[in-house]
Amino acid sequence: MRDWNPDLYRRFEDERTRPAAELLARVGLQAPRTVFDLGCGPGNSTELLMARFPQAEVVGTDNSPAMIEAARQRLSALRFELSDIAQWQPEQPPDLVYSNATLQWLPDHEQLLPRLFGTLAPGGVLAVQMPDNLDEPSHRLMRETAAEPRFAAHIGDAATVRARILPAGGYYDLLAPQADEVDVWRTTYHHRMGSPGDIVQWLRSTGLKPFVEVLPEALQPEFLAAYEERIADAYPARSDGSRLLAFPRLFIVARKRS
């Protein structure tokens, strides 16, 4: 994938950071020494970790140079590392491995989640939130638009663009054998958006990215316009004219056996 765009991502930062805060609220650790934010993006989630655990060494990692640069500018006192989660291995076992809105971009969760959990110190916590929205109109309509012949020639099989995450019970089963406690829950947010164009902008920096970036530049506006038309029908105007973007998210907080 091409590099991420921190400015576009930050446009809806309040909405994107809310699940990060609600994930952190369920982490019961009192004074962790080492905390990692995997897929830290522009540092919005790392900032929450720093505020909650001021005594800890908080490290943000991301495989996007643009995101790491934005995070370093935002939180100059913290360490940020450019690394791919698929290969990430801490030097010492951390007390908290936290990842908000990132692991859905990685495949093979049956191996990945137990491996990340296994890096923790005894009693350490793995806290993960992932969008669970591939069956929402927002994502179904990306695939539908991508299947139009003028776009399909470039995008290929839209169903394979992003792997599905597991059902809640799948994560429970993977982590429970090494855990004292596994808490899994799913919440649907209904984000208030000003217009269909805002919904497209929201997704432009995340879910739409792999569809749009493989298109020739001349075709990109056509794809976004065709997608926005569908979005306008699927998310009707509410009583005040705004649109509600339904956004289900899966949360996991697991404490490793001490």
Ligand X SMILES: C[S@@+](CC[C@H](N)C(=O)[O-])C[C@H]1O[C@@H](n2cnc3c(N)ncnc32)[C@H](O)[C@@H]1O
Can you tell me which of 25, 86, 147, 225 binds ligand X, judged by CB under 6 A? 86
- Opening angle at CA 132, ends 37 and 219, nearest 5: 95
The string of DSSP codes covering 44-85 is: HHHHHHHHH-TTSEEEEEES-HHHHHHHHHH-TTSEEEE--T
CB of 238 to ligand X, least distance (A): 26
Q: Binding string, 171-210, against ligand X, x = CB under 6 A?
A: -----------------------------------x----
Work out whether 213 is an interface residue with ligand X (CB under 6 A). Answer: no
The per-residue DSSP string of 206-243 comes to: TTTHHHHTTS-GGGHHHHHHHHHHHHHHHS---TTS-E
The reply to whether 64 sits near ligand X by the rule CB under 6 A is: yes
Does 130 interact with ligand X (rule: CB under 6 A)? no
What does the alpha-carbon distance between residue 28 and residue 32 come to, in Å, rounded to a whole number?
10
Written as one letter, the residue type at 40 is C
Query: Is residue 44 near ligand X by the rule CB under 6 A?
Result: yes
| Contact range with ligand X by CB under 6 A, out of 41-49, 147-155, 174-182, 228-236 | 41-49
Q: Does 40 bind ligand X (CB under 6 A)?
A: yes
Q: Is residue 85 close enough to count as binding ligand X by CB under 6 A?
A: yes
Chain mean position to CA 201 = 16
Q: From 62-70, 115-123, 155-163, 191-199, give the range in contact with ligand X by CB under 6 A.
A: 62-70
